[in-house]
Every structure is written in C-alpha cells, then in structure tokens.
Amino acid sequence: MNFNIAVIPGDGIGPEVIMETIQVLEKVGKIFNHKFAFTEVLAGGCAIDAQGEILPEETLDVCKESDAVLLGALGGPKWDNLPGEKRPEKALLTLRKALGLYANIRPAIMYNELKDACPLKPEIIGDGIDICVVRELTGGIYFGEKGRKNGKMGEEAYDVKQYSEVEVERIAKTAFEIARKRNSRVTSVDKANVLESSRLWRSVVEKVAKDYPDVYLNHMYVDNAAMQLVRDPGQFDVILTTNMFGDILSDEASMITGSIGMLPSASLGEDNKGMYEPIHGSAPDIAGQDKANPIATILSAAMMLRYSFDLEEEAAAIEKAISEVLKNNYRTGDIMSKDMKLVGTKEMGKLILEQIGG
C-alpha cells in the first residue's frame, strides 16, 4: 500500500527525532511491503525565520492533500517575545482547526522497565499505569472569543470558554469507542459545579453514554482529577475532557509515567486523517547534541499506522521493538538510571531499527 505523509520537523530537537522516525517507517515499509512518500514542509519558528510566517500556505496545502501529518516540535525561547497570533505554537492550533482534528488521543503508559523513573511510590504505581486521555481539540477557551478592554481597574483581558452540543457529542463518542477497546471505563472531567459550559458538557456526555451501556461512566471535577492522578492513577482507563483541562491533565499523566520523552499523541478528525506528534516540546537546550529521546516520536508514528492507515501489525512491530530495546537496558539521558546503558538519539534509533523484524 502507498501512503503520503506530510512531515513538519519543526524547531529544536524536532528535526533530530523526526529523522529517526522516518528511518523506522521506511524499514516498516520494506518489511511489510508498503511505500511511504514523505513531503517535508515548514511550520513554527523555522518557518518564521525562512518565510516570515508561522504556517505558510504551501504547508497547509501539503498537509490537506496528505494521508497523515507527522510533526516534530514547534517553538522555543527565540520567538517568545512575538505577539500571541505570531508565535510558533499558533501554527499547531491553526493546523488542527484547518484539518478538522477535533480529538487528541494521548496514551500515558508506564513501561515496566521504567518504573524507577516514576516519581510515585511503588505502592501507588501498583501493577502499572495505562491511561488514555481523550481531549477535545478545536473548541473551548483556546478558540473562543478573546480580547482586551478598559475596565474599572484598568486594562482587562478575557478568554471565552464555549462549547456546542455537537462538539461535545463527537469527542464523547470517540472516548467511548476507545474505551470499548480497552477496559470499558470513561471518566469525564469537567467543572460542572462552577462553569455553565461544563454543565452542558456533562449532560451531553450522559446522553451519549446511553448508546454505550457496556462502558462504565463516571464524572470528576478537574481539581479532584488532578489530585487523583497522583493519588491513585490505576483507577483511570479513559479520561474524557475539554481542550484546556486535557492540555493540563495529559501533561500530568505523562510525567507520572516517568518521562515526557516517551509519550506520543494523535490528533484525529472524522475520516481518521490525523496529525501525529510527541507531547514533549522543542527542548532547544539540547538541540543538535544527540541527546533527545526519539521514542515518543517513533511511537507517534506507530499510532499513525494504527489509527490513520489501519495497520495494526505494523504498529505493534514498532512498539515491540521499543520494548525490547528498553528490556536490553538502553536509555537516553531523560530516562537514564543506575546500571543502564546511556545512548544518544541516533543510537537509540539504530537500536530500534535493529529490533524491527528481528
């Protein structure tokens, strides 16, 4: 089978982790008789430097015409003083909206080999951590009306959090469908005791739940959810939540697994076309030093094979290869612990390549 993939290496360590990921996909294609055609385009800080804009029209056109988008990382302190609409991170929001990617899927899985990297006590970890955060991606406060005005106490700023019934319904269906393939439990996180938008969220989620009688649903306020993630993460299966709450909770979930450098994400639309990226940032402090962990980006490519291309066996082959490398005690610096073998970005990629199809 043939697939066209738009590649946005981005800023900082993005190009390094993307390079290793492309090599992994090329080997998967060779073993399983697929052809992946990669088209590299600019977005973020590097696009500002090269073309004076965060998301060139060419980039958007290529992404729309491709079967999926693979992204490294965007942003960095170099561009921090730019106005909000011109900052590199704005390219992500624009891409998600333009491609209709309303569902962000972020698995937070702790590998047994990385238990020592988890900041939680062993008795809290228990048998392990396996959480999937399903975050609404194109609505809420990030996309609501915003502005500034003069008020009684000087200048005021506002950001409006707004959701429609349709937006909540479609993300809820995504969460319930994913839960059916896991442990059939959904925890919907909101702030319905305070926010009107959360009250609508909760009522729509409960309506959708009636179509999934085999899936258990419970509700949790976001402040309690943040506490419960560190108190008893094993209670969660699928966490369904809004754009802003999901942004925060998914990062918290990632850190309790041991390293943000290990976790992938998928942003999906109606037709399973998606954008795939690691949840870590551009890490400019280690860019170009062969220190970055490429595993999260490589796992994002595995999610691409599974969700956009329906290639389960190929995705599993990548995940198994990564697990074997970790079992053999190889680590990049962010997940390094005593008696492990320290490797760089390129060596980690090479080790994973050797395990695929091996």
- Predicted confidence (pLDDT) per residue in 286-323, tens digit: 999 999 999 999 999 999 999 999 999 999 999 999 99
Single out the catalytic residue among 161, 247, 307, 330.
Answer: 247
Single out the catalytic residue among 11, 191, 212, 307.
Answer: 191
| Assigned domain for 109 exists | no
Out of 226, 256, 286, a domain closes at 256
Give the pLDDT confidence score for residue 185 in this predicted structure. Answer: 98
Indicate whether 163 and 241 sit together in one domain: yes
* CA angle 223–135–193, rounded 5-degree value: 35
Indicate whether 128 and 211 sit together in one domain: yes
| Assigned domain for 238 exists | yes
Six-digit token string for 20: 């290793």
Indicate whether 61 and 141 sit together in one domain: no
Distance (Å, rounded) from C-alpha 125 to C-alpha 231? 9
Question: Please, which contacts does 148-156 make with residues 24 or more away whose CB atoms are closer than 8 Å?
Answer: none
Into how many domains does the chain fold?
A: 2
Indicate whether 184 and 221 sit together in one domain: yes
Indicate whether 12 and 85 sit together in one domain: yes
Single out the catalytic residue among 111, 142, 276, 307.
Answer: 142
Contact of 188 with 241, CB cutoff 8 Å: yes
Distance (Å, rounded) from C-alpha 96 to C-alpha 268? 9
Indicate whether 241 and 178 sit together in one domain: yes
Give the pLDDT confidence score for residue 125 in this predicted structure. Answer: 78
Distance (Å, rounded) from C-alpha 291 to C-alpha 74? 18
> Over the stretch 172-218, which tens digit does the pLDDT of each residue have?
999 999 999 899 999 999 999 999 999 999 999 999 999 999 999 99
- Any catalytic annotation for residue 285? no
Six-digit token string for 114: 């990385």
Give the pLDDT confidence score for residue 254 in this predicted structure. Answer: 82
- Any catalytic annotation for residue 247? yes
Indicate whether 333 and 229 sit together in one domain: no
Out of 227, 256, 285, a domain closes at 256
Single out the catalytic residue among 49, 80, 116, 223.
Answer: 223
| Assigned domain for 320 exists | yes
| Assigned domain for 107 exists | no
Single out the catalytic residue among 64, 78, 216, 251.
Answer: 251
| Assigned domain for 111 exists | no
Indicate whether 125 and 244 sit together in one domain: yes
Out of 225, 256, 287, a domain closes at 256
Six-digit token string for 244: 């802003």
Indicate whether 243 and 347 sit together in one domain: no
Contact of 278 with 297, CB cutoff 8 Å: yes
| Assigned domain for 266 exists | no
- Any catalytic annotation for residue 191? yes
Give pLDDT < 70 ranges for the chain: 358
Three-state secondary structure of the chain? CEEEEEEEEECCCHHHHHHHHHHHHHHHHHHHCCEEEEEECCCCHHHHHHHCCCCCHHHHHHHHHCCEEEEEECCCHHHCCCCHHHCCCHHHHHHHHHCCCCEEEEEEECCHHHHHHCCCCHHHHCCCCEEEEEEECCCHHHCCCEEEEEECCEEEEEECCCCCHHHHHHHHHHHHHHHHCCCCEEEEEECCCCCHHHHHHHHHHHHHHCCCCCCEEEEEEHHHHHHHHHHCHHHCCEEEECHHHHHHHHHHHHHHCCCHHHCEEEEECCCCCEEEEECCCCCCCCCCCCCCCCHHHHHHHHHHHHHCCCCHHHHHHHHHHHHHHHHCCEECHHHCCCCCEECCHHHHHHHHHHHCCC
Indicate whether 123 and 247 sit together in one domain: yes
- Any catalytic annotation for residue 271? no
Nearest to 269 by CA among 74, 68, 118, 131: 68
| Assigned domain for 110 exists | no
Indicate whether 210 and 300 sit together in one domain: no
**pTM: predicted TM-score of the whole model, two decimal places:** 0.86
Nearest to 326 by CA among 248, 232, 279, 258: 258
For residue 334, what are the domain limits? 1-102+274-358
Indicate whether 5 and 40 sit together in one domain: yes
Residue that is written with structure tokens 């419970």 in the block: 218
Give the pLDDT confidence score for residue 26 in this predicted structure. Answer: 97
Find the CATH number of the domain harbouring 244: 3.40.718.10
Give the pLDDT confidence score for residue 358 in this predicted structure. Answer: 59
Contact of 17 with 72, CB cutoff 8 Å: yes
| Assigned domain for 161 exists | yes
